[in-house]
Amino acid sequence: MYSNRKGQRVPDVIFRTRNDHEWVDVSSRDLFAGKTVVLFSLPGAFTPTCSSSHVPRYNQLADNFRRHGVDEIICLSVNDAFVMNQWQEDQQAYNLRFVPDGNGEFTEKMGMLAGKEDLGFGRRSWRYSMLVRDGMIEEMFIEPDVPGDPYEVSDADTMLHHLAPNAPSPLDATVFTRRGCGHCVRAKQALEASGIPFEELLLNRDFSDRTLRAITARGTFPQVFINGQNIGGADDLEAWLRNRHAA
């Protein structure tokens, strides 16, 4: 059973990090003193769930966390500084701070060391997240102690809901566009004006016209998707936004 340290101080350790080509020692005080910090810890860099879900979602929602008073989001793993730096670059996760717990000292003092010898990993971190204010652990979300690699409660959305339970859930928006498309510009401006972050996919760079027809059965631009729903073009989006604001 992994221990919940809610109400306790974070362990006092020194993390060996790399900045450019220099070793930089970072203490727990450096990371947590006088700050509101969300830390999530996971079994390993470049591993499937960590790379496809855990890191990307925290990185995506970083602005939402900041709006609710979080100064920094830390991704921690029992990996060395070289691996963690390369993983951050590979993920393009520059909204997060990647911290290497290479010797597992912080993880051990948190009571979160997990045996992953069956995978050839040795001792790694169990998956969890926590909210820390000025070095005190205010809340922890620890994955259930079951076989495998459960991913149910340490995700970004769960932590964000804890911070702001009455706030609307973040929207996931993607806009399929093409160059020289005025309606595409109008759709993007409408999303920006509404404060809805979006990903832009550009024709012949990120997808083909066949891909667009296969997904939407349409060949016009833009095509806007929000939370899995095909909203349509710029006019459709503006109508959707009016209805949303009127609700």
Q: Is 50 a catalytic residue?
A: yes
Q: How far apart are CA 67 and CA 102, in angstroms?
A: 32
Look at the block and give the residue holding tokens 């932590």.
159
Residue percentage of the chain with pLDDT more than 90: 93
Q: What is the mean pLDDT of residues 134-146?
A: 97
Residue percentage of the chain with pLDDT more than 70: 100
Please give the structure tokens belonging to residue 223.
């095509």
The neighbouring-strand residues paired with 1 are none
Q: How far apart are CA 129 and CA 146, in angstroms?
A: 17
User: Given this model, what pLDDT does residue 189 score?
Assistant: 97
Look at the block and give the residue holding tokens 């591993």.
47
Residue tagged active-site, from 50, 75, 181, 184: 50
pLDDT band at residue 123 using 50, 70 and 90 as cut-offs: very high
Domain with CATH 3.40.30.10 in the chain: 14-163, 173-246
Does CATH number 3.40.30.10 belong to domain 173-246?
A: yes
pLDDT tens per residue across span 145-203: 999 999 999 999 999 999 999 988 889 999 999 999 999 999 999 999 998 999 999 99
Provide the CATH number for the domain formed by 14-163 in this structure.
3.40.30.10
Q: How far apart are CA 164 and CA 158, in angstroms?
A: 10
Closest CA to 129 of 138, 140, 144: 140
Residues 6 or more apart whose CB falls under 8 angstroms from that of 229 comprise none
Considering the chain, what is the average pLDDT of its residues? 96
Q: How far apart are CA 33 and CA 72, in angstroms?
A: 12
